[in-house]
Amino acid sequence: MSFASFKGRYQRPVPTTNLMVNEEDFDRFEQLDDDSDFMPRAPPPGVEALSVVGVNTRQDLNEGPHNTHDYVTNQLVVRRGQQFTIDVTFNRPLTPQDDFQVEFLIGSDPSPNKGSLVVVTFGNRPGGSWTGQIVGAQGPVTSLGITPNPRAIVGLYRLYVAVSVGSSLQRTDRNPATDLYVLFNPWCPNDDVFYPDDAGRYEYVLNSTGLIYQGTNTAVTERGWVYGQFEAGVLDACIYILDTCRMPIDNRDDVIKIVRTASAMINSQDDNGVLVGNWGEDFSMGTAPTSWTGSSAILLQYHNTGAPVSFAQCWVYAAVLNTFLRCLGIPTRLITNFNSAHDNNGNLKIELIFKADGSPDRRNTRDSIWNYHCWNEAFMKRSDLPTQYSGWQVVDATPQETSDGYFRCGPAAIAAVKEGDLCYPFDSGFVFAEVNSDVIYLKSDRYGNMTPFRVDTAYTGILMYTKAVGSWSPEDITHNYKYPEGSPQDKQSMARAEQYGCQRDHSDVPAGKLTLDITSESTLVGQPVRILVTFYNQSELHKTAKAHIEVSMVYYTGVVSEKFWMEDFTLQLEAFHNNSAMFEVKPQDYIKFMGSKAYLHIVVTGQSDTETTSQVKVVSLKPPPVSIVLSGQPQLNREMYVTVSFRNTLNMMLHNAKMMIEGAGLMDTRVFNYSTIGPFAEVSQKVRFIPRKPGVRTIVALLDCQNLPEATSMVEVRILQ
């Protein structure tokens, strides 16, 4: 960007670039000013002037204590607020008369008062905000301990050593080999991202593989995801994202600003960000969201091309944001909210409209309830909020609503959401509505007048899962977001939210004497789906229930793809008794409409006299399984094999199939394409790999195709040193 565009507003252009800074930082020789803190000194008689021979950033020594040993890079990676050691080789041993300093620069046009040029001194002379001390010396090699400020700017720094020679300053040449990354530090109590226990730090910062929960609240499924935050090039890709949106360098010390920026930049809705969303069925111009197994391929493609990557849906946005934040050192976890409210009116009402005959009025229904929605939580101190609202914060990169002009959401304090304290930034009202909206069932007459006949206050946000610490099991965190339904605390929280503008429905809908329940279990694709509908008569009079059942294929967002099965039926109900009807949806009824969608949406509406009742049920369809078998010696740098197999159990051809295999620290992503997989046919791939990192590692495999929901699997292996 030219300086002309800044004239009249800034004295100089605002530095916004960290990578690819090619300008000259300093003259190699600099004449000292009269007011310089350097004390011009001549060496003692017979001693040559001090000069620097070389600098060793001691990657081998520092990466263990800084928990950065997994980063695949030739540069040193350290965490702020914690000492690291470098070795400087001079042309001779140091003497008390020698004066030198180490300088760290980040971004273009670095400045001491902005924290982008830091001078570290090693004597009585004052330096910058980082501290330094001499921790050892052996002949001409001096070991220097340097501690970055816990509020240091995060990113890639350039390093120079400057020596006082007479009345001038002599610096080392620019050497990219001594560049180093400084990251957030959840191990440092003075860092805003400090996390209080080791198990949590391992899970939320160092774990490079996770689980994403999908399905429905009664039939939760899971898929593995390779976050790959330590893979080669990923750290640079994350910094590149901040450069692309021209985030000022001096703002990159602030976790709140970085998280909020990342929430906007992971989607490409309005800022040329990382991922293009696509909730349709045509993915011919990119990769289907269901085909991704990890984040690194997405981030590296974005960095290499500078163009948004196609395609994503909510779990892909959340997984890539998880990688971005963990890579920079911010404790982060991926959350799934089951029955997530998506309201177009900015209130606490999800309005489902039904026609007079009991069938859903999809043309006039604008709101939707997603089977699930994925977002992130980032752990941080909120210095801009009351103390009790530090901790986990919701951050959502899926483009839904604009916030301060960009499609982004958060960070929103979970504790504030739970209490209904929605006056605090950022976007807490939107998050509150996702987990607390009431579902209003409305009946429309032929003139378009709508009357509420049922209100369900417990349906949305019914279950919230994240991967448990140190386990492959889910952790239920619903209680972090809301109090038990109907409790005094829940009522108080809802009332407080209304005071901040979240409008609820207060229709006086009396408790009905006619109710119904739908029972249907998740089933394998190709099997019949059985649906049990039970009506309950809670009055002292006989009732005749005239009912309508409708089954549709839906996207996970609750949007109907195809209505394919319906039936009217009648049940006689004695006083204070119930009666049931069983229905069976055959495979041939639904399979031709399935595509990559995995959900059946069942709606039943019943009427008796003046009463109307309705119920909704979502049933997931499970694909055939993927098998993973490991062989070989699980040892670092020793040959191993993984065999991934899939058998088509259906009497139909699968089209445009893709098998993906990936494992952080084990192997790069491998892709195998099949134009077709025949009925009852099996495909298998045996892949050789050589483990690159020791410890517990995971391989994720996936089979995706055009006309069947994706099948996923994962296997864990411990790689010996």
pLDDT in tens, 569-621: 999 999 999 999 999 999 999 998 988 888 999 999 999 988 999 999 999 99
Assign 291 to helix, strand or coil: helix
The C-alpha atoms of residue 590 and residue 66 are separated, in whole angstroms, by: 54
Residue 167's pLDDT band, with cuts at 50, 70 and 90, is confident
pLDDT in tens, 364-389: 988 889 999 999 999 999 999 999 99
pLDDT in tens, 89-136: 999 999 988 999 999 999 999 999 999 999 999 988 888 899 999 999
The amino acid present at 34, given as its one-letter code, is: D
Query: Among the options 396, 427, 505, 704, which is catalytic?
Result: 396
Q: Which residues fall within 8 angstroms of residue 237, CB to CB, at 6 or more apart? A: 299, 300, 302, 303
Yes or no: say if 568 and 615 are a contact pair by the CB < 8 Å rule.
no
Q: Is 141 exposed, middle or buried (0-12, 13-18, 19+ CB in 10 A)?
A: middle
pLDDT at position 4 is 46
Comparing 356 with 278, the larger pLDDT belongs to 278
pLDDT in tens, 447-472: 889 999 999 999 999 999 999 999 99
Question: Of the candidates 380, 373, 318, 398, which has an alpha carbon nearest to the alpha carbon of residue 150?
Answer: 380
Comparing 250 with 31, the larger pLDDT belongs to 250
Q: What is the CATH number of domain 514-622?
A: 2.60.40.10
Percent of the residues in the chain that have a pLDDT greater than 90, as a whole number: 83
- 314 catalytic per annotation: yes
Yes or no: say if 188 and 182 are a contact pair by the CB < 8 Å rule.
no
Q: What is the average per-residue pLDDT within 622-641?
A: 96
The C-alpha atoms of residue 371 and residue 352 are separated, in whole angstroms, by: 15
**To which CATH superfamily is domain 626-719 assigned?**
Immunoglobulins (2.60.40.10)
198-499 against 514-622: fold identical: no
Q: Is the pLDDT of residue 195 over 80?
A: yes
pLDDT at position 1 is 42
Q: What is the average per-residue pLDDT within 235-240?
A: 98
The DSSP element (H or E) to which 326 belongs, if any, is: helix 314-327
SS3 content of the chain, % helix, strand, coil (to 5): 15, 40, 40
| Sequence-ordered strand ranges (E) for 139-179 | 141-147, 155-165, 168-171
The amino acid present at 499, given as its one-letter code, is: Q
Query: Among the options 188, 314, 374, 502, which is catalytic?
Result: 314
Q: Is the pLDDT of residue 20 over 90?
A: no
pLDDT at position 3 is 43
Q: Which residues fall within 8 angstroms of residue 4, CB to CB, at 6 or more apart? A: none
pLDDT at position 7 is 58
Mean predicted lDDT score pLDDT of the chain:
93
Question: Of the candidates 10, 26, 33, 5, which has an alpha carbon nearest to the alpha carbon of residue 114?
Answer: 10
pLDDT at position 222 is 96
Residue 34's pLDDT band, with cuts at 50, 70 and 90, is low
The DSSP element (H or E) to which 259 belongs, if any, is: helix 255-265
Radius of gyration (Cα) for the chain, nearest Å?
30
Question: Could you give the angle at the alpha carbon of 257 between the alpha carbons of 256 and 260, nearest 5°?
Answer: 85
Question: Look-up: residue for tokens 């009249």?
Answer: 8
- The domain 12-183 having CATH identifier 2.60.40.10: the answer here is yes
Q: Is the pLDDT of residue 31 over 80?
A: no
* Cis amide leading into 311 (omega within 30): yes
Residue 22's pLDDT band, with cuts at 50, 70 and 90, is confident
The C-alpha atoms of residue 623 and residue 645 are separated, in whole angstroms, by: 14
- The domain 198-499 having CATH identifier 3.40.50.1010: the answer here is no
Question: Look-up: residue for tokens 């892909």?
Answer: 316
pLDDT at position 41 is 57
Assign 323 to helix, strand or coil: helix
- 27 catalytic per annotation: no
Query: Among the options 373, 374, 409, 601, which is catalytic?
Result: 373
Q: What is the average per-residue pLDDT within 2-22?
A: 71
User: What is the greatest pairwise CA distance in the chain?
Assistant: 115
Provide φ and ψ at 57, rounded to 5°: -80, 0
Which residue ranges make up each domain of the chain? 12-183, 198-499, 514-622, 626-719
Provide φ and ψ at 172, rounded to 5°: -70, 160
308 token code pair: 């948004």
The amino acid present at 466, given as its one-letter code, is: T
105 token code pair: 């620069």
For residue 315, CA distances in Å to 219, 292, 371, 396 come to 18, 10, 12, 10
Long-range contacts from 468-472, C-beta under 8 angstroms, 24+ separation: 469/199, 469/200, 469/202, 469/203, 469/204, 470/199, 470/202, 470/203, 472/211, 472/716
- 396 catalytic per annotation: yes
